[in-house]
Structure 1
Amino acid sequence: MPSDELEGALREMLSRRAAVTRAVAVDPAGVAIRRADRIQRRRTLAGMGLAVLVVVTVSVGSLHVRDNRPPAGGTVVIGDPDQRPLVERVTAPPGPDTAAPIAEVDLLIDDSIATAQGRRVPLLGIGEVERVHRLTDGRGWLAVGAPTLAGRFLWAVAADGTAQVLLAGADEIVLDAEGRQVAWKQGTVLAVAGIVDGELADTVRAEAPAEAVPLRFVNGAVLVRLAPDRPGHVLWPLRPGSLDLGGDRASTHIFGALPDGRLVGGTTPGVGLPTCLTLLDPARDLAPSRPDCGPETAGDGLGAVSPDGRWLLVNGRSAGVDSALLVDLVTFDKPTAVRPAGPPMTGTVVWRTEDTAYYADAAGGLVRVAVDRVVAGRPAAPTALPGVPAGELPVVVSGG
C-alpha cells in the first residue's frame, strides 16, 4: 500500500475513535447537576414553611385583634345543624390546678371554672364566656359565649378543659335546667334541639319576629320575649311553623313557674309607676291573675323561682333600701310574704336546691341565701372570694 494511502487510513481511524464518547467512572457534571437540584428542593421547602408560618402568625394575630371573628375551634353552620360539619376541638391546657375550694358551687372566674371540688379549669381559646351550665353526669359543662359581631357560641367543655363548638352565630342561646336541650334564635329563625353525646339532635324550627328573644325553658316550652324594649311574652310549644304571638303585651319580666303552670312575672300598671309582681295564666294568653299588682320589684329583670315553685328571689326595696327580696309565692298577696334576703343581685341567681340560692353582688362577693335563715329574719351577707381579681364579678354556674 502506498505510504500516502496508509497515512490517510490511519488518520480516518483516529478521527472515528476521537468521535466516540468514552464512559468514565465519575461524571463531574452529573454530580454537580444533582447537587444543584437537591439544594433547590431544600430552598423551595424552606420557603413554603416560612410562608405557612407567616400566614399562621398573621391569622392568630387577627383573631386576637378582631373580636368579631369566630374563636378557634371550628364552627357549626347554625342554619342547618342537622348536617354534621367538620368540627375541630380546642386542645386542653395542662392539667387543671387543684387547691382548696372557694365556694360550694362552681364559679366562672376570669376565664376559668373554679369547681366546688377545688379544681381550676381554664377556658382557653374559646373567647369570652357569659354563662356556664354544669352537666348532671359530671362529664363537663356547656358554656355560652358573650355576644360578638359574629354572634354567640355554645361550647361543650370536657372535664379536662377540652372544648368543642356545638352552635355558632346565634343571636341568643338558652339551655334547659338539665342541659339536655338548647334553644336559640338567629335572624327570624327560632330553633330548639336536644343535646345527645355532644351533638345536636331532633332540631325543630319556627319563624318568629326578628326582635323576638328566647329567655328560658318553662314546663317543656320556650318562653320568648316578643321584643327586648317592649312588654309582652309568649310560650313556644316547640312546634314548627310560625310562632303564635299570643295576646300578652303587658308583662315586663317573667322569673319562672308555679307547679300549677302559672308564671311568676312583673307588670307595670302605668307610665311612671313601679313594676310589681303578679301571676300570669298561660291558658289565657298570660293574662294577670291574683293579685293584679303585688309586691314591687326593681324592674331590672333579675330573679328566679325556686325549683319547687315555692320561693322567688328578686331585686327590690326593703325599708327604703335596695335589696334582694325573698318572696313566699304561697302567701303571695300578704305583706309578710316579702323579706329582705341580702344585697342586690348582679347577673344571674342560681337555685342550688329548693331552699338554697347563690348569686354575686356588685362588689364581687358571693351571696348564699338560705331560706330558713331569711325567714327567721337573718338576711344573707356576701363572702369575699380569695384569689378573685379586683373588679372581677364571679358568675355562678347553673346545673349539676
Structure 2
Amino acid sequence: MRRDELEGAVRETLSHQVAVARPLSADPAGQAIRRAKRIRRRRTGAGLALAAVATVLVSTGMAQLVDDPGRQGTPIVVIGDPNPSGRPIPSATASVAAPAPGTSVDVLAGATLISVSGGRLELPGVGPAERAHLLPSGGGWLVVGAPTTAGRSLWVAQRDGLVQVLLAGAGSIVVAPDGRQVAWRDGTGLLVAGVVGTQLIGPVRTPMPTNAEPVRFVGDSVLVRLNPDDAGHILWRPGVGQLTAGTDRSTLNVYGALPDGRLVGQVSTGDPARTCLAMLDPKRGLKPVLTGCGPELSPDGAGGISADGRWLLVNGSVGKASGSLLVDLQRLGPDVTAVPAGPPVTGEIAWTTASDATYVDGAGNVVRVNVDRVRSGKLADPTPVPGVQPGDRPVLVTGS
C-alpha cells in the first residue's frame, strides 16, 4: 500500500469512529499522521524496531509494559513520546547565583539539578529521589524515586526540563553503571529492559521468589538478593533461562566488581556477630576465593570500589571509630586493615578518579574523600550543598 493510500485509510477509519453533527475544528487523523512523521524522521534504519514500539506508545499515550495476572496494585506503565508542538519548552538555562557545590559530580536536591559549576535546573514532578544516573547520551538523567506505599517510580529528565514517567508502582529499581539497562521488580516477576533515548525497550521477564529483590547490575547480569533478612545472592542473565536459587548462602552484600570480573562483598562467618570481606567468583556461584576479616562491617550494604579495583570505601567501624572506612583491596587477606575515612555513607558512592570518591552523609552534606589524605590520618570533611532547602536530601548523579 502506498503512503498516500495509508494516510487516506487512517483518515477514513477515524472519521467512521467519531459521530459528529458539524465539521471538526481539528483534524485528528492529520495530527496523528504528522506526529508519526516527526517520530519517523527521528528514527534511523538501525532503530526500526524501536520506531515500531514508539509509534504504538504515541498512539495510545501510555502502554502497560507487561500483563501479569498475578500482579496486584498500580500497573507499571511506560509513557510514550510526548508531542513537543503542544508544550512550552522549559528553559535549560539555570540560575548560577549559588556557588559551586564543592563536589566533582552533579547533585540532585529535591527537584533541582545542581551542576558542578553551580548551575541549577528545575525538574518539575521529580522526587523525592533515591538515586540519579546520567543517561548514556548525556542528554538527561534517569531518576529512581524513594520508596512509597505505592512503590517506586522511575523518571527520565531531559536537559530542556521535560520530565517523563517511565515506571510507576515498581518494587526495587536498579540502573546499570553505563545507564543502558534498568531492572525492577513487578509483582512476582523481575524485569530487565534497555534504555534508548527516553524509552524502555525489549523487556525480558523471569519469575522470582517472594522476598527477592534486584540489587545491582554485574556486567549484563542482574544480582538478586533472595531475602533481605538472610544471606544469599544469585546472578541472573536476562534471556538465558529463568532465575533459580543457587548455592550461595553466605553473601550479605556486594559492593562492586573488580576489573577481572570478581566481586567484592560482605560474607557471613561461623560467628553470627562477625562478618568479613571476600572476593567472590561469579562463575562459581559467588563462591568466596579470598577472605579478609578485621573491621566490623555495617549491615547496610553501603560501599563502592574504585574503577581500578584498588580501593573500597565501605561503612563499618574500627575500634571505637565508626563511619566510612577505606580498605586497600590489594592487601586483602587473613588480617585486613581499614582506615577511618569520614562520616557514614548514605546512597551511592561516586569514584571520580582512582584516588577520589564523593558521597552524601546522613545529614545531607557532600563528603569528598582523597585516598592519600585519608591514609595520612586526615578524615574527610562534610560540606553543605549551597541553596538546598530543608528536607531536600541531595543524591549524587552517578555515571558522569
Aligned to 1:366: 366
The answer on whether the counterparts of 1:256 and 1:265 sit within 8 Å (CA) in structure 2 is: yes
Worse overlay, 329-338 or 186-195 = 329-338
2:100 aligns to what?
101
Structure 2 partner of 1:140: 140
What is the CA-CA distance between 1:244 and the residue it aligns to?
2.1
Instruction: Name the CA distance, whole Å, in 1 between partners of 2:81 and 2:220.
Output: 29
Q: Is 1:151 equivalent to 2:163 in the alignment?
A: no
Report the CA distance between 1:110 and its aligned residue: 2.7
Check if 1:322 corresponds to 2:322: yes
SS of the equivalent of 1:291 reads: strand
CA contact (8 A) 1:205 1:240 kept: no
- In 2, the alpha carbon distance for the partners of 1:376 and 1:270 equals 34
How far residue 360 of structure 1 moved from its aligned partner, in angstroms, is: 1.5
Partner of 1:77: 64
Please report the RMSD computed on the Cα atoms of aligned residues, expressed in angstroms. Answer: 2.6
CA distance in 2, matches of 1:217, 1:347: 16
In the alignment, the residues of structure 1 paired with residue 79 and residue 392 of structure 2 have an alpha-carbon distance, to the nearest angstrom, of 36
Q: CA separation in 1, counterparts of 2:80 and 2:305?
A: 40
Q: Report the CA distance shift for 1:75/1:126 in structure 2 as closer, same or farther (over 3 A).
A: farther
1: distance between equivalents of 2:321 and 2:392?
25
Q: Answer yes or no: is the 8 Å Cα contact 1:276–1:294 preserved in 2.
A: yes
CA offset at residue 314 of structure 1? 0.2
What is the CA distance between 1:216 and its match in structure 2?
0.8
8 Å contact 1:294–1:333 — kept in the other structure? no
Q: TM-score, normalised by structure 2?
A: 0.74
- Residues 196-252 of structure 1, C-alpha deviations (whole Å, 9 max, x = no match): 121122222212113211111112211111111211100112225420211111111
2:312 matched to 1:312?
yes
Alpha-carbon spacing, 1:332–1:214, altered in 2? closer, same or farther (3 Å): same
* 1:75–1:165 contact (8 Å) kept in structure 2: no
With over 3 angstroms needed to count, the CA separation of the structure-2 counterparts of 1:349 and 1:397, relative to structure 1, is same
- Is this contact kept in 2: 1:352–1:358, CA < 8 A? yes
List aligned pairs for 1:248-267, cutoff 5 A. Answer: 248-267=248-267
**Which secondary structure state, in structure 2, belongs to the residue aligned with residue 330 of structure 1?**
helix
Give 2:312's aligned amino acid.
Answer: L
Measured against aligned partners, the alpha-carbon deviations of 1:299-335 in whole angstroms (never above 9, x if no partner) come to 2211111222221100111341112111111111265
Q: Percent identity?
A: 48
Bigger shift: 139-148 or 382-391?
382-391
Contact 2:129/2:395, CA 8 A, preserved across alignment: no
Which residue of structure 2 aligns with residue 205 of structure 1? Answer: 205
Q: Distance in 1 between matches of 2:163 and 2:88?
A: 7
Decide whether aligned partners of structure 1 residues 306 and 198 sit closer, same or farther in structure 2, where only a CA change above 3 A counts: same
Q: TM-score, normalised by structure 1?
A: 0.74
1:348 deviates by 2.3
What is the CA distance between 1:92 and its match in structure 2? 5.8
Q: Which has the larger radius of gyration?
A: 1
Letter in 2 for 1:78: L
CA contact (8 A) 2:64 2:78 kept: no
Of 135-144 and 229-238, more deviation after overlay is shown by: 135-144
Task: Check 1:339–1:91 CA distance in 2 against 1; reply closer, same or farther (3 A cut).
Answer: farther
Corresponding residue for residue 302 of structure 1: 302
How many residues are matched?
327
Cα distance, 1:128–1:361 mapped onto 2, change above 3 Å: closer
Following the alignment from structure 1 to structure 2, what is the Cα–Cα distance between the partners of residues 377 and 135?
Answer: 37
For structure 2, the residue ranges without an aligned partner over 5 or more in a row are 1-60, 68-74
Q: How many angstroms apart in 2 are the aligned matches of 1:309 and 1:364?
A: 27
Give the 5 Å matches for 1:230-379. 230-270=230-270, 272-291=272-291, 293=293, 295-333=295-333, 337-379=337-379
